[in-house]
Structures are given as C-alpha cells and as structure tokens.
Amino acid sequence: MNRLRQLFRRRIDRELSEEIAAHLDEKIEELMAEGMPRQEAVQKARREFGNLLRIEEQGREVWGWPSLEALFLDIRQGLRALGHNPVFTAVAVLTIAIGIAANTAVFSVVNSVLLKPLHYPGAEELVALHQLAPGAEGLADFESGLLLSPSMYVTYSDHNKTFESMGVWISGTANVTGLAEPEQVRTVAVSDGVFETLGVPPAAGRWLSPQDQIPNGPLRVVLGYGYWQRRFGGDQAVIGKTITVDAQPREIVGVMPKGFRFVDADFDLTAPLAFDRGKLILAGFGFHGIARLKQGVKIAEANADLTRLLPVWMDSWSNGPGSNPHIYETWKIRPMIRPLKQEVIGNVGELLWVVMGTIGVVMLIACANVTNLLLVRMEARQQELAMRTALGAGRARIVRGLLLESVMLGLTGGVAGCGLAYAGVRLLVAVGPSNLPRLSEIAMDSATLLFAMLLSVLSGLLFGLIPALKYSARSAGAALQSTSRTVGFSRERHRVRNSLVVGQVAMALVLLMSAGLMIRTFAALRNVDPGFSDAQRLQTLRISIPDSLLAEPERVTRLENAMLDRLQAIQGVKSAGFASEMPMEGFDSSWDQIYAEDKVYADNTIPPLRLYKYISPGFLETSGTRVVAGREMTWSEVYGLRPVVMVSENLAREMWGSARAAVGKRLREVPAMPWHEVVGVVQDVPEKGVQEKPPEIVYWPPLMKNPFAPGAEQVARTVTFAVRSERAGSESFLNEARRAVWSVNSNLPLASLRTMQEIFDKSLARTSFTLVMLEIAGAMALALAMIGIYGVMSYSVSQRQREIGIRLALGAQGRDVLQMVLSQGTKLVLLGVAIGIVAAFLLTRLMANLVYGVTVYDPLTLVAVASVLILVKLLACYLPARRATLVDPMVAIRYE
C-alpha cells in the first residue's frame, strides 16, 4: 500500500514538473518568436510564472503528500539548527530534562499509588466493608471506621444478598521457633472467603479452605512469598511440612505469589481464624472486612443490604447474660462500603496531588526559562528566518519548523529526563514514607513513559509557540534590512520576556510559600511535647509470649519481669519497663467503655470509649513520661492483683476537673470488674503522633483479674520493652539485650528493635516526605527563576550597551546606571511577588490538611519567603547591572 502510494506520488510530482516545464518552454518560445533574446525571454517567463519551487510544493500539497517529506526536511533542518548552537541546546535540554525528570518521577508515584488498579483479578469489584459509628468515637476513627466483629462477619456472611464472597482478616505477629533463631513473623489471620474474594491463585500448594477453618481442627498455614524465599529458599517441597508457630506445629499447605498482600498488609504467614460460632459475642470490633460484589451490584445496594442486617446481628448475638444487645444502636453504626483501592490508598491522595501540582509548577517555570532562551536565540536567527521567507517559505511552514525544533528540544530533554527520572524514582522510594501505601509497587511503566513523552511534546509546543508566532509574523523585508547592530528592541518583544519573568517570580513565590509552610509545620511538630524524653537513648523491642507457650497469666508477668531485671543488669542501663505499645508505634489501639464510680449513667447509654494500655511499673520513669499527680503503680500491687489504675491528665480533667482531684477516684470497664483506684495521673501523650490531639488514656496494670472469667487473670502477652541506656541502638547493646532475653527463655524472638527516635521519625515520615518534596520543588523554582531573571537582565544590559555608553559619556555616574538597571529588575520582581502572594492565598488552601500549628496564610512565612525571593532576585539583577557600569563609553559608541 505504502509503496503504491509512493509510486503514485512520484508520478504526480513528475507530471507536474513536466507540465510546468512545458509551460515555460512554450512561453519562452513565444516570447522569442516575438523577437526577444533568449536570455531575456527566460527571465520574463520565470518572473511571470512566479515562485517555481513553491508552486510545485503547493501543487503537491493538494494531494496531502507534502507533510511527510517536508516534515523530515524540517526535522533535519531543526537538528542542524540545534547543533549549530550547542551551548544553547545544552542549557535548554538540561533545564527541560530536570523538569521532566522531576515530573516523571512524581507521576510514576501518583500512577503506581493512585491510578493503577490493585493487583487482584477483577479488582474493581472488590470493596472494603467500611462502617461509620459516630457514637463510638475513638474506636471508630474517621480513617479506619468501625471494624467488624466476628459475629458481625458471621451474620453478614450468612445473610447478605449482594456479595459474591466476603471475609474478614486481621494482622498480627507470631513466634516461629525450631528453624533458626526464634523469629517474630508478621501474620495475617483470615476467615473463610478472604482468599476467594481476592482471587489470587497460590504460587504453590493451595489456599486455606473451609476445612481449615474448623475450630480445634488441624492446624494449617500458608506462607508469604518473601518468607518462603528467606526461610525455605523457595523450595517447592515445603508443602506438607510443618513449622512451629507460637509453640504449635502447623502444616504448610500453600505459598502465595510474589507481591501478594492482604489489602495493604504484607505478611510472612497466613493462618485461619477458625471462629468458634458457639462462643462468639457481639463485641470484638477488630477485623477488616472485604468482599467481592456480585455482577452489576452497586455499592449503595450493598450498603442497604448490610443496613438491613445490623438488627439481625444484634438479635442473633449477645455480650453475655444481662447485657443489652441493642446498646449498639447508640453507636449509630452505618455501613459505608468503599472501593478496596480507596481503602488501600487512604488519605495519601491529597498529599501526592499537592506534590504533583508543585512539581508541575516547576515545569512551567522551566518552560518559561526555555521560552526566554528561545526568544534570545530567535533575535540572532532573524536574518536566517527572513532569508527563508524571502526564498519562498510560507509562514505556516516556518512556524511548523520552529515548533518542530522546540518539540525536538523537548523530546531530547524528555529522553534525558527519563533517565534521570529512573534514578529519581529509586530515590523517591527510598525517601518515601514507609507507610506510604503501595510503596513497593512504585515503578516506571509504559504509562509513565507515555506521560514523559506527552509532557516533552507539550512543553516543547508550549515554550516554542510564543517565539515561533512572534518571529514568523515579521515581514521579511524589515528583518532583512535591519542589521543586528542598530536594531533597538521593540517594546512588545520586551513585554513578553518581562511577563515571563514576572510569572516565574510569582510561581516561585507560591512554591516557596508551600515549602515554608511545611518547614513551619515541621518546627511546630518538633515543639510538641511527645510524652517521652531523649528518644535516641530509649531502646525498644517487642516480645510476645503466646498462650501455647505459657498459659498461666501470672507466670507470663513473672517472665516479663525477669526479662526486665536482666535487661536492667546490662551495663549502662539506667532503667527499663514495658507497655502494651509505645506511643506512635502505630498498632491498632484498644478501646473500651470506662465508667467512673461517682458518675451516674442512664440506662441504655454507654459511656464514651477510651483508649487503654497496659504498663509495667517503672515504664513511665524509663520513657520519661511525667506523672503529674499521684505515683506509678508498684510490682507488689501488680502481683497482689490490687485494683489500681492510672489515667491521662486530659481524662482526669474531663471526669474530675483536675489531675489532683482524680487521685483516689475509682473507675472500671464493666460491672463485673472491681472498681480500680486511680493512683496516678500521667501527662497527655500524643499517642497517634504529634500532629494528633492526645487521646484520653487509661493505663491498666499488666496483670489483673479477668472481668469476663471470674477467678482467672488477664495479662499483657505482647508488649514493647523500653530500655534507657546511653548505648541504645548500638549493635553490641542489641546483642546483649538478646542474650538477656534468651537467658530467661530461649524460645522468645525479639522483634522491632528500634530506638524511640526511629519510631518517632517514622510517625513523622509523611510530613517529612512532604517537606522534602516541597523543598526540592521550592529550591528548583528559586534556582530556575533566578537563572531566568539573570538571563533577561543580562540580555537587556547587553542590548542597551550603546545607550548606557552614551549616558556615561554624557556624565552619568556608575551609580546612576546601576540604579537604572536595578530599578528595572526590581519592578519586575515586586510585581511578581505581588501576583505570587495573591496566587499563594488561593492555592495554599489546598494544603490546609497537610500543615500543623500554622495557618496557610501565615504572615511570618509569607514575609520570610517574599524577602528571600526579593533578595535572591536582586542579586541576580545585580551582576548584570554591575557589568553595565563597567561599559567603556568610547568602546560602546565606537562599536557601531
């Protein structure tokens, strides 16, 4: 087909040429017949015929051919033009490459995290069974909502009409022994239906099946890919073997493939939840629900389905004799099912779009710079363009040629940018917050490359359009006549360059403002009392003592106590203690209703839910958390099962007015529990991170009577030890800590060995990521805008050299010249700053949720940013201005 076209096309060309040649021949012959000499006849014939080449070209264009050949020609010409001026080309390409690299890198994050579907077959049918419960504040926070209880799962699973399949899962940890050193592994426990819902086939063996979910049935487990590789070297023969998990042998029945996660949870082992239906109660809202919608079912229908089932749930189960199942009506539970992707992404979208937006603005600034460069270069090329026009190039052709040139610049920059972006993405993944969802999926793919390509072409068009249109519009005659020496610069041309500078300054101000706000946020967060002191010298490690290893609660506490003693015996350790979790450690917290003895609670209402923790005596002293009234609990109280408790200051104030008043008051969780006396009040601790309001907290002793099982005790089995030592974090110290723990029980793995500082930094990871990104963007904007204004001022000074020379010759002082040039620059900068301030007011509102302790209209930041910007820009103006004063009047004038 193509060949045919080409043949056809050649024929048209040939015929047209032949025809035109015949025409000229005939005319010449006729003119000569009238007696004109040949030479003259040829000339006259040509003149009257018009521009031969152009006519042939137009004739061809009618048939639609011209484009391709002309295009190649233009591309060749463009490349040649770019090659002629390597410095210009290098600067432009580098500017674009950096801009495109930054944008492509950030886009690959946005694409991988926000845009790409989850890695499950038919992912769009997957939903998270999110529920709202405004009446259960605390337990059901806005982010994760109210999780499902096992009985809820059973009710929903048995009676729903809208799900293809559904299930619940929970993540946790378990101890694996007998392989090498004891190891704490990440686990996900799943109900029936979870594997079926996600639909990812196993890499080896099989999924967990309904038979594995029988309570007290055979114990089975499915391995995660990473753990399989790490511990078993990816051996297929692992299926059917047993491993010891929490002191119980479990048969390995399958392995899941690489990259598979339960929603957002990476894991080493998956075990069945094996709910015992006979023993379920209403409560226990700790399980994440997921489901696959039936074909064509809308989320609203599924919501209605579950709303219908809530009363069924309350009627089918109870919390034990004498309890009122309909008490949950006060929680106002409302299903709010949402796409699984949304559940995974959480609220990170906003952050990423803000980063993408700022990087996009950097690209605009880069384009403005290149536009300016092109404008300068166009001056120099005016004669070339005029020549081309005179030789018969149409305006469209010239515009196209120039645009092609800038698109090629863009593409060259884009290719270089992709290389840089590849490094940038790796950097982003490295500095990105480890709690960024889907972090492991971030990679450059075809969509990213397409984005980079489009961005290159678009930016090429963007920065090429203004110069191309401006210069092609000039009449050839005017340009040819003017020589580079005497042509002044038209005001209009200057206006474009000036407005580009103003725009750059304005955009840079917006970016610097957002970076400044993040710096202020970070400073504000650092100033919040985190509820612990000297975090670098506070070692934490996590230990779990499973039921199956040691059943009796008191012995668990004694074991933990013995470990504390050994840890304290390590040289240089000042003190040690443990708690169910450290502040900001990020585990799902426990919540329960707390009744005060001296308060009256109406029937059918339940008091607000409070976060509760278990802490050992000495823990608060170790972590440096202040006791504001009363005292810490003692070991004799713990072992004596004395009903004592501590509360946070804000809870004390809320219930009894002040910290002091709280000491001696009594509270409990459920009627079956004895009243516990408040022996001490603890300072408020921002348990969920310094940017969150500190929650009200109840601190229970690690061992206490079990309110649900008379005569038995309950004990904190999984705890984080905190050890205060100068040597915290050092390898030798960690080895000694391991030996200390293993000297008590050699089957206990130590997990999450980190200093408190690491925990704190991780909790700030998202904020610091935003900070780093916005600072990079701000710095790039500042640098680019600086280069921009420097270029414009330098150029304008070089253009005015003669004028300045005359001024100097007529007696102007260097000072006057300096002032004149500076004032020109200052005007531009101030105008840009003014516009930038208005834009910043409008745009920084978008990041209201990302800042803390500062309003987005923070005047201090604004003044600081504006002054920095003005200062830097004036510096950029100063150099060219200084050069202007050094003009030698004689030379400048004689230069004519």
Positions that interact with other proteins (CB under 8 A): 15-16, 18-20, 22-23, 25-27, 29, 48-52, 55-56, 58-63, 394-396
Strands 609-614 and 697-700, by their bridges, are parallel
**Encoded tokens for 419:** 């290389």
Q: Which is nearer to other proteins, 60 or 705 (CB)?
A: 60
Report, in Å, the least distance between residue 422 CB and other proteins.
Answer: 44
**Full 3-state SS string of 91-116:** HHHHHHHHHHHHHHHHHHHHHHHHHC
Give the Cα separation of 267 and 258 in Å (integer): 11
Do 515 and 858 form a contact (C-beta atoms < 8 A)? Answer: no
Q: Which is nearer to other proteins, 55 or 344 (CB)?
A: 55
Report, in Å, the least distance between residue 383 CB and other proteins.
Answer: 21
Do 218 and 248 form a contact (C-beta atoms < 8 A)? Answer: no
For residue 133, which phi and psi values (nearest 5 degrees)? -150, 80
Q: Which is nearer to other proteins, 48 or 597 (CB)?
A: 48
Report, in Å, the least distance between residue 470 CB and other proteins.
Answer: 18
Report, in Å, the least distance between residue 23 CB and other proteins.
Answer: 5
Q: Which residue bears the tokens 């010249």? A: 817
Do 586 and 758 form a contact (C-beta atoms < 8 A)? Answer: no
Strands 220-223 and 248-255, by their bridges, are parallel
Q: Which is nearer to other proteins, 6 or 434 (CB)?
A: 6
Q: Which is nearer to other proteins, 397 or 762 (CB)?
A: 397
**Encoded tokens for 42:** 């040829």
Report, in Å, the least distance between residue 55 CB and other proteins.
Answer: 4
Q: Which is nearer to other proteins, 11 or 332 (CB)?
A: 11
Do 807 and 817 form a contact (C-beta atoms < 8 A)? Answer: yes
Helix (H, G, I), strand (E, B) or coil at 596: strand
**Encoded tokens for 132:** 């709202």
DSSP secondary structure letter of residue 746:
T
Strands 676-682 and 644-648, by their bridges, are parallel
Q: Which is nearer to other proteins, 476 or 628 (CB)?
A: 476
- In 111-221, alpha helices (H): 150-159, 194-198
Q: Which is nearer to other proteins, 397 or 802 (CB)?
A: 397
Give the Cα separation of 707 and 713 in Å (integer): 8
Residue from 501, 513, 543, 525 nearest 789 by CA: 501
How does 508-529 read in b/e, with b if 16+ C-beta sit within 10 Å?
A: bbbbbbbbbbbbbbbeebeeee
Q: Which is nearer to other proteins, 62 or 886 (CB)?
A: 62
Report, in Å, the least distance between residue 12 CB and other proteins.
Answer: 8
Residue from 58, 21, 61 nearest 42 by CA: 21
Report, in Å, the least distance between residue 50 CB and other proteins.
Answer: 3
Q: Which is nearer to other proteins, 61 or 588 (CB)?
A: 61
Q: Which is nearer to other proteins, 49 or 72 (CB)?
A: 49
Residue from 823, 847, 896, 836 nearest 869 by CA: 836
What is the amino acid identity at position 473? A
Q: Which is nearer to other proteins, 29 or 158 (CB)?
A: 29
Q: First and final CA of the chain: distance in angstroms? A: 61
Do 541 and 751 form a contact (C-beta atoms < 8 A)? Answer: yes
Report, in Å, the least distance between residue 97 CB and other proteins.
Answer: 36
Q: Which is nearer to other proteins, 22 or 431 (CB)?
A: 22
Do 538 and 720 form a contact (C-beta atoms < 8 A)? Answer: no
Strands 644-648 and 269-272, by their bridges, are unpaired
DSSP secondary structure letter of residue 168:
E
Residue from 3, 4, 7, 13 nearest 63 by CA: 13
Do 521 and 854 form a contact (C-beta atoms < 8 A)? Answer: yes
Q: Which is nearer to other proteins, 61 or 69 (CB)?
A: 61
Residue from 441, 477, 469, 521 nearest 115 by CA: 441
Helix (H, G, I), strand (E, B) or coil at 523: helix
DSSP secondary structure letter of residue 570:
S
Q: Which is nearer to other proteins, 300 or 396 (CB)?
A: 396
Paired strand residues for 205: 254
Report, in Å, the least distance between residue 817 CB and other proteins.
Answer: 45
